[in-house]
Amino acid sequence: MPKGRDNRTTQDSSGQQGVDMASKAEKIVAGLGGIDNIVEVEGCITRLRTEVKDPSLVDEAALKATGAHGVVKMGSAIQVVIGTDADPIAAEIEDLM
């Protein structure tokens, strides 16, 4: 395969992954009750650690629909178990804040 062709494929895949990550971040924000409900967000190896203003606005089913493996609620602290995408998704959410 020509050298340039490999580079284009990598760039295309990378761009698509970025779009998917942004879309997933937006869906997670909605599941957390919207951007105005999020006080803090931090990525941790496999979890998205957040603090929310109103925990009753968190929609666990919506978060799981994004591919989350689980949701842990401890008062206003919400952990969304999403796997190794936690850090990039946290960065996307921080960009929205």
- pLDDT tens profile 4-51: 433 332 333 445 555 588 899 999 999 999 999 999 999 999 999 999
Strand order in the sheet with 77-81: 38-44, 47-52, 77-81, 70-74
Sign of CA dihedral 92, 32, 86, 74: positive
pLDDT of the residue at 79: 97
> Which range of residues forms the domain containing residue 15?
3-96
pLDDT of the residue at 21: 86
pLDDT of the residue at 20: 87
Any catalytic annotation for residue 56?
no
For the beta carbon of residue 23, count every other beta carbon within 10 angstroms.
12
Say which range, 6-10, 74-78, 83-87, has the weakest mean pLDDT: 6-10
23: domain CATH number is 3.30.1360.60
What is the number of structural domains in the chain?
1
Please tell me which residue in 35, 39, 44, 65 is annotated as part of the active site. 44
